[in-house]
């Protein structure tokens, strides 16, 4: 994998006059972890003849180490070395106590991003600063796709279908907004999991927002909505051999949701 540029928290490395580089024979963009490494916990049965799967979890997040320097097309001779002021500016941008969005300028990664932050080491040539070594740590064992937004004007008992593109088998809770077109008991059914989201005593024009694990309403008189909710939050899912979510509602309404699909792609 060869990259020259990346975007971090809305700014490009090239905005600082720098590029990704190899400052020695072994450095560059190296994958320290491919992520998505699963720990399988098993329990013996039948006197140890067989093992049953008891639990699974991801063992690590994505990490990577690579180096940057000033772009040789713009800087030559002594100007190619970084000054203390330039290092301080890059440190302020990259080395933070919070994770931010990282995008690689690389074919195939156009719609994928990672959340992370950098530890930074100075690379010197004699007394001069030749560049920086960036040690990236992310918040997940995978990347994420750009936000998917969906808006369906639904008629009661008339299903719509939506295909989930996530690489992870399972489910994701999207941020969901329902605008009720009529009063009554709202039931949102997703056939892929045979899952029903039930909210009683809805009124026409009421806007219900579900952002797991919270639910709110625009109707000040429906302040007991928590008592009318079965706490089965609406979610998008996929199975190994099925990605289509068939969604049906019991009341005429508008269903809007957004989420970021999981992209199992390494650094």
pLDDT value for 201: 96
Cα–Cα distance for residue pair 88/91, rounded to 1 Å = 5
Provide the pLDDT for residue 107: 87
Does residue 85 sit in the same domain as residue 180?
no
Same domain membership, residue 183 and residue 137: no
Q: Which CATH number is 96's domain given?
A: 2.40.30.200
**Region 153-180 average pLDDT:** 96
Are 21 and 39 in contact, with CB atoms under 8 Å apart?
A: no
Q: What is the pLDDT of residue 1?
A: 59
102 and 152 together in one domain: no
Dist CA 133 CA 69 (whole Å): 9
- Domain enclosing residue 164, as ranges: 147-263
Residue 33 banded pLDDT, cuts 50, 70, 90 = very low
- Domain-embedded: residue 191: yes
Average pLDDT over residues 136-145: 88
Hey, which of 34-38, 110-114, 139-143, 200-204 has the most confident mean pLDDT?
200-204
**Residues 169-214: pLDDT tens digits?**
999 999 999 999 999 999 999 999 999 999 999 999 999 999 999 9
Residue for token pair 């180490």: 65
The dihedral sign for the CA sequence 183, 161, 245, 108: negative
What pLDDT sits at residue 27?
Answer: 42
Q: Is residue 1 part of a domain?
A: no
Helix (H) or strand (E) holding 196: strand 195-202
C-alpha 18/C-alpha 257 separation (Å) is 39
**DSSP notation for 2-56:** --S-EEETTEEGGGGTEEEE-SSSS-SSEEEE---PEEEEEEEEGGGTEEEEEEE
| Residue 161 and residue 114 share a domain | no
Three-class SS of residue 259? strand
How many structural domains are present in the chain?
2
Please state, for a pLDDT cut of 90, what percent of the chain lies above it.
Answer: 63
Which pLDDT band, with edges at 50, 70 and 90, does 44 fall under? low
230: domain CATH number? 2.60.120
pLDDT of residue 83: 93
Q: Indicate if 171 and 86 belong to the same structural domain.
A: no
């Amino acid at each position: 994998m060869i990259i020259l540029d990346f975007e971090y928290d809305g700014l490009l490395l090239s905005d600082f006059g720098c590029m990704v580089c190899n400052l020695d024979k072994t450095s560059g963009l190296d994958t320290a972890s491919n992520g998505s490494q699963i720990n399988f916990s098993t329990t013996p049965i039948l006197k140890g003849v067989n093992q049953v799967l008891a639990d699974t979890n991801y063992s690590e997040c994505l990490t990577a180490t690579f180096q940057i320097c000033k772009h040789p097309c713009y800087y030559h001779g002594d100007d190619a070395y970084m000054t203390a002021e330039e290092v301080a500016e890059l440190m302020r941008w990259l080395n933070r106590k919070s994770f931010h969005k990282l995008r690689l300028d690389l074919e195939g990664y156009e719609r994928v991003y990672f959340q992370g932050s950098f530890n930074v080491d100075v690379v010197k040539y004699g007394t001069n600063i030749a560049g920086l070594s960036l040690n990236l740590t992310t918040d997940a064992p995978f990347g994420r796709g750009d936000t998917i937004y969906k808006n369906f004007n639904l008629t009661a008992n008339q299903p719509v279908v939506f295909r989930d593109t996530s690489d992870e088998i399972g489910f994701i809770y999207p941020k969901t907004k329902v605008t009720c077109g009529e009063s009554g008991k709202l039931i949102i059914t997703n056939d892929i999991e045979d899952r029903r989201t039930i909210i009683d005593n809805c009124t026409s024009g009421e806007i219900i927002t579900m952002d797991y694990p919270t639910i709110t309403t625009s109707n000040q008189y429906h302040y007991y909505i928590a008592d009318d909710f079965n706490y089965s939050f609406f979610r998008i899912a996929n199975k190994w051999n099925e990605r289509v979510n068939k969604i049906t509602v019991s009341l005429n309404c508008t269903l809007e949701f957004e989420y970021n699909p999981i992209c199992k792609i390494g650094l």
